[in-house]
Amino acid sequence: MSGPIGVFDSGHGGLTTLAALRARLPDRPFVYLGDHANAPYGVRSPAEISALTQASVERLFAEGCELVILACNTAAAVALRGLQEGWLAREHPEKRVLGVFVPVIEALTGRPWAADGPPVDLAGLRIAVFATPATVASGAFPRELAFRARGVEVTQVACPGLVDALEEARHADARELARGFAQQAAGACPERAFLGCTHYPLVRDAFAAGLPEGVEILSQPDLVAASLADYLQRHPQRAGHGAALTCLTSGDPEAVSAAARALTGEDYRFRPA
């Protein structure tokens, strides 16, 4: 029988995705790995991000995971394609590592990722994307969106310091930063907003406060959970059954567990990775 589903993030942000996945798939086991010792990833070089991501995916494979979700948008933007086409294809062709951009782009375009045909015409749609500096610099989101849709106006806003504030439980600072970053995009009059880092839903209301009234904020965790449920219907062999949860960290387990409780209100018990 296949093992648990791996969920990887650079820190606590992926817990927002984990919660949505467990709510949608309560009969599937999960292993969460946070690379807290090396967070945040958003200010690191592409080479560093790729190396750290590969090491964490390898650790999840060692836990028996046949399927790993890169809940970290920075890792998905910077490292995923290279890992899929290189190391994974060579060393682990039987395993799968999936990113978190695909479900968002499918929701925006209204078409499955693998659908053939010309790009969907979304002329006039304005979307604001808030992400880490590394994700913005990669250009991954507008590039992937452009393959599947045309006419979309994308405003990207890099959000330095926001992940640090959330990881350090500086809630007031994080909310002030989020509201300020949202205000930077307000002049573009976006219709939709994408919080392109799994940490950012923790201050979703602060982003909303800085955006014009009526802007729809896409829920990436819910979209990822729905997409994974669909994937497992088509590939049920990719994950085992049961409600077990294991939480691993490269950081200090007691400190990480305490910070996770402060951020989410849930009692996640981390152990050393």
74 annotated to a ligand binding site? yes
Active-site residue, selected from the candidate residues 65, 159, 197, 247: 197
Active site residue 159: no
53 marked among binding-site residues: no
Do the annotations mark residue 132 as ligand-binding?
Answer: no
Confirm whether residue 109 is marked as ligand binding.
Answer: no
Alpha-carbon distance 110 to 42, whole Å? 29
Query: How many Cβ atoms from other residues are within 10 Å of residue 101's Cβ?
Result: 24
Unique residue bearing structure tokens 């500086």: 170
- Out of 65, 72, 159, 247, the active site residue is 72
**Ligand-binding site membership of 32 (annotated):** no
In the chain, how long is the greatest CA-to-CA distance?
52
Q: Is 241 annotated as a binding-site member?
A: no
- 171 annotated ligand-binding residue: no
Contact by Cβ (8 Å): 181, 199: no
Tokens standing for residue 200: 């950012």
Handedness of CA 17, 222, 241, 232 (dihedral sign): negative
- Confirm whether residue 92 is marked as ligand binding: no
Angstrom distance (rounded) from CA 128 to CA 231:
28
Q: What is the set of active-site residues?
A: 72, 197
Annotated binding site: 9-10, 41-42, 73-74, 198-199
Annotated binding site for substrate: 9-10, 41-42, 73-74, 198-199
